């Protein structure tokens, strides 16, 4: 059906016209997670080009979902969600929970993104469970046939955990060597860290206490505890 015939009077259609453009919901989620500057937002959606990001932010601003704040000369422009956008947060969160509950994990683990995974993992580091000093954790991600990727998390008490894409030249406390698929699966709740380590897909070397307390200082995705739809429910739904 031609776009000109799209039923814009329908509330669902009107909502879709605001949220359907690709990346819009991911950008909102990134800003709800605390990113406000252009470079921060882009790091949360690494598959998006700077040009498209700029275009989409302008569209979202025009639609009343985002407001831009310029603090003055020499300062960084910030992009903030509006009350109109914030009202959508529980709805989009619910959409993510529905997908996590119902879409097969084999499907969700097909298109993996190491940068996006690590950018989100660095938000889930519980500093209270780490030594009361600077802690450096190197993740060595194997994703055949792609090249091995290295990332460094630098965690300091009272500060936001930093993610480095190049070696910061600090002494490393803990090395996490793993398959990208295994780390994604465990962090998203499709499997557990214990299962992946027992299967040899994730291995830890270094600081003994940090090794033993991995599941305390590395918290899983907020979707990890969403219960999966069971086969019993599937059968009932088909009756």
Residue 21 CA, distance from chain mean position: 19
- Taking the domains of the chain in order of start, what are their residue ranges? 3-87, 111-217
63 contacts 27 by C-beta, under 8 angstroms: no
SS (H, E, C) the chain: CCHHHCCCCCHHHHHHHHHCCCCHHHHHHHHHCCCCEHHHHHHHCCCCCHHHHHHHHHHHHHCCCEEEECCCCCCCCEEEECHHHHCCHHHHHHHHHHHHHHCCHHHHCCCCCHHHHHHHHHHHECHHHCCCCCEEEEEEEECCCCCCEEEEEEECCCCCCEEECCCCCCCCCEEEEEEHHHHHHHHHCCCCHHHHHHCCCEEEEECHHHHHCHHHHECCCCCCCCCCCCHHHHHHHHC
The band of 83, judged by pLDDT with boundaries at 50, 70 and 90, is: very high
The band of 132, judged by pLDDT with boundaries at 50, 70 and 90, is: very high
Does residue 121 or residue 22 have the better pLDDT? 121
pLDDT of residue 145: 85
CATH tag for 3-87 (out of 1.10.10.10, 1.25.40.10, 3.40.640.10, 1.10.3720.10)? 1.10.10.10
pLDDT of residue 75: 75
The structure's pTM equals: 0.82
Checking if the pLDDT of 125 tops 80, the result is: yes
CATH code linked to domain 111-217: 3.30.1050.10
């Amino acid at each position: 059906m031609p776009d000109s015939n799209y039923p814009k009077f329908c509330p669902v259609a009107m909502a879709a016209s605001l949220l359907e453009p690709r990346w819009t919901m991911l950008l909102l989620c990134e800003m709800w997670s605390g990113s406000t500057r252009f470079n921060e937002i882009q790091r949360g959606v690494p598959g998006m080009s700077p040009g498209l990001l700029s275009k989409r932010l302008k569209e979202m601003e025009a639609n009343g979902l985002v407001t831009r704040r310029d603090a003055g000369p020499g300062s960084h422009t910030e992009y903030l969600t509006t009350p109109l956008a914030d009202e959508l947060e529980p709805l989009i969160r619910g959409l993510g929970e529905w997908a996590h509950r119902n879409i097969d994990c084999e499907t969700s683990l097909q298109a993996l993104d190491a940068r996006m995974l690590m950018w989100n993992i660095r938000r889930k580091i519980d500093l209270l469970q780490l030594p009361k000093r600077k802690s450096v954790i190197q993740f060595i991600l194997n994703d055949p046939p792609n090249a091995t990727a290295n990332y460094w998390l630098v965690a300091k008490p009272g500060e936001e955990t930093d993610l480095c894409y190049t070696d910061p030249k600090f002494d490393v406390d803990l090395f996490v060597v793993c398959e990208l698929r295994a780390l994604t699966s465990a962090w998203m709740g499709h499997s557990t860290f214990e299962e992946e380590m027992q299967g040899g897909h994730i291995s830890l070397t270094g600081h003994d206490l940090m090794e033993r307390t991995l599941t305390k200082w590395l918290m899983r995705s907020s979707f990890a505890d969403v219960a999966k739809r069971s086969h019993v429910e599937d059968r009932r739904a088909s009756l």
